[in-house]
Chains A and B, each alone.
Chain A
Amino acid sequence: MVDTNFMNYPGFKHAAGVEDDLEAFKKILETIPMKFLGETAEAAHFTVALFDGYNMYITSNFFQVADGFNHEGMNPF
């Protein structure tokens, strides 16, 4: 399973309510380690390596594609 967050696609900005508010959008970016949204193509690039047939030894894992946000709590300052 590949879990994504902070992806740059219309649904994210709509869900976050920041489609027309650049300042609010910037505040969201400040909460993630790299300070920008990921591209869906980047997540796809990693995901393809899990099902293109060249690696048949990885199963049952959860992979986070979220700019390290799932570890963000390690750096509260």
Chain B
Amino acid sequence: MSTDNTGQDPKGIDRRDILKVGAMGAAGLAAAGLGVNTASAKTIVPGKTLKTNATMGGKRVAIINDALIQVGPPLARSFAKQGYNLVIAQPAKGLVKECEGYGAKVIVVPGIEQHGPNDETRPDSTQKLVDAAMKEFGGFDSAFIRTAEHMPGDIFKINAKDMQKLYEGNFLAVVYALQSLLPPLMDKGAGQIVILTSASSTQALSDFIGYSAMRAGANTLIQGAAMTAAPKGVCVNAFGTNYLNYPDAVESMGGPEKMAAVASNIPLGRFGEPEEMAHLAMALLDGYNMFTTGQSIMVAGGYNMKLDSIASLQGG
């Protein structure tokens, strides 16, 4: 008889339970009627109700450290629409009320503004969000962390002071975030984390080389953290964007006119919208895919995988 089956266990046993009894061994699991990856060992099927790590509030809980710009606001809306409660920082105007309108309880943690006294380069920045989630909901299930310290400079222009800032804002901040987020999720045996890095980590920009290099380092850090967390049922992925249409990007690109010139070099010929990025990020955060981890997922209109053609090299 095949043990392959997509049915959900009627007793509600899920794979987290398998992880917790891993020491039993296969024979013990079989004797217990659980079997490794038998029908009783799986519940994560899209459309089915998920469990939550939260002990209060009756809903799954998501943390978003930057709900002001870029992917954060549309992610918050998506979570709220999917029945999550939220713990967020620096929300965009009207976002809290909008999410509450979808039925979410929204906890706003103050003092985590970029370049502020508790920005993400501080060791306790993400910890404040975790502490709020534990206090208000008794746990959380998903977390989206955006760290960002943008600074131009080629190999001759970067210096030790600038590199220190780039290191703290794009790499060390990720270390601190993961050190705060992972323990409670690993303790519960389930969770999903997406850390925003940059598509310039895999397709580096030579005049943003310090930034690109720190983002590449963060990707590797995230992969390593994912391997540490995997045996405890926690998924960790890097999500690298570039050429997104949001105010900071417009400014850093030099305004709409220069953006149009940049867009002509992007295979899809345009800048991406934050809502598009949030749509894919949700597939890594909403609990219905607990098998994708350690990945660096780049979202840049094909720029990160761009190939030249002879015709284009000839100016055609």
Q: Which residues of A contact B (CB under 8 A)?
A: 8-10, 13, 19, 22-23, 25-26, 29, 33-46, 48-50, 54-61, 63-68, 70-72, 74-75
B304/A75 in contact, CB under 8 A? no
CB atoms of B276 and A43 under 8 A apart: no
Interface hits, B217-247 → A, CB 8 Å: 223-224, 226-228, 230-231, 233
Which of A19, A38, A56, A71 is within 8 Å of B294, CB to CB?
A: A71
B49 contacts which chain A residues (CB < 8 A)? none
Contact B19 A35 (CB under 8 A): yes
B63 within 8 A of A: no
Let me know if B179 is at the binding interface, CB within 8 A: no
Query: Which residue from B2, B30, B277 sits with its C-beta under 8 Å from A10?
Result: B2
Question: B100-108, B134-142, B285-293: which one contacts chain A?
Answer: B285-293
Complex contact A49–B230 (CB within 8 A): no
Pairwise interchain contact A33-B231, C-beta atoms closer than 8 A: yes
A36 touches B45 (CB 8 A): no
Task: Check A55–B291 contact: CB distance below 8 A.
Answer: no
Could you tell me if B36 and A36 are in contact, using CB atoms closer than 8 angstroms? yes
Q: Does B55 touch A at the CB level, under 8 Å?
A: no
Q: Which residue of B lies closest to A13 (CB)?
A: B4
Please give the residue numbers on chain B whose beta carbons come within 8 Å of chain A beta carbons, in ascending order.
2-4, 6, 15, 18-19, 22, 25-27, 30, 35-37, 41-42, 44-46, 223-224, 226-228, 230-231, 233, 267-268, 270, 272-273, 275-277, 279-280, 282-284, 288-295, 297-302, 304-306
Residue on B nearest A33 in the bound complex, by CB: B230
Q: How far is the CA of A76 from the CA of B273 in the complex (A)?
A: 40
Do A74 and B3 have beta carbons less than 8 Å apart? no
* Cβ contact within 8 Å between A40 and B293: no
Q: Given A8-B37, A13-B4, A39-B42 in contact, is the A34-B267 Cβ separation under 8 Å?
A: no
Chain B hits for A63, CB < 8 A = 292, 295, 297
Of the candidates B27, B223, B298, the one whose C-beta lies within 8 Å of that of A74 is B223
Least distance between B302 CB and chain A CB atoms (Å): 4
Cβ of B289: which chain A residues have Cβ within 8 Å of it? 42-43, 45-46, 65
Q: Is the CB of A54 within 8 A of B279?
A: yes
Query: Can you report 12 A-B residue pairs in the complex whose CB atoms are below 8 A from each other?
Result: A8-B42, A10-B2, A22-B26, A26-B36, A34-B19, A41-B46, A42-B290, A45-B46, A46-B284, A57-B273, A58-B299, A67-B291
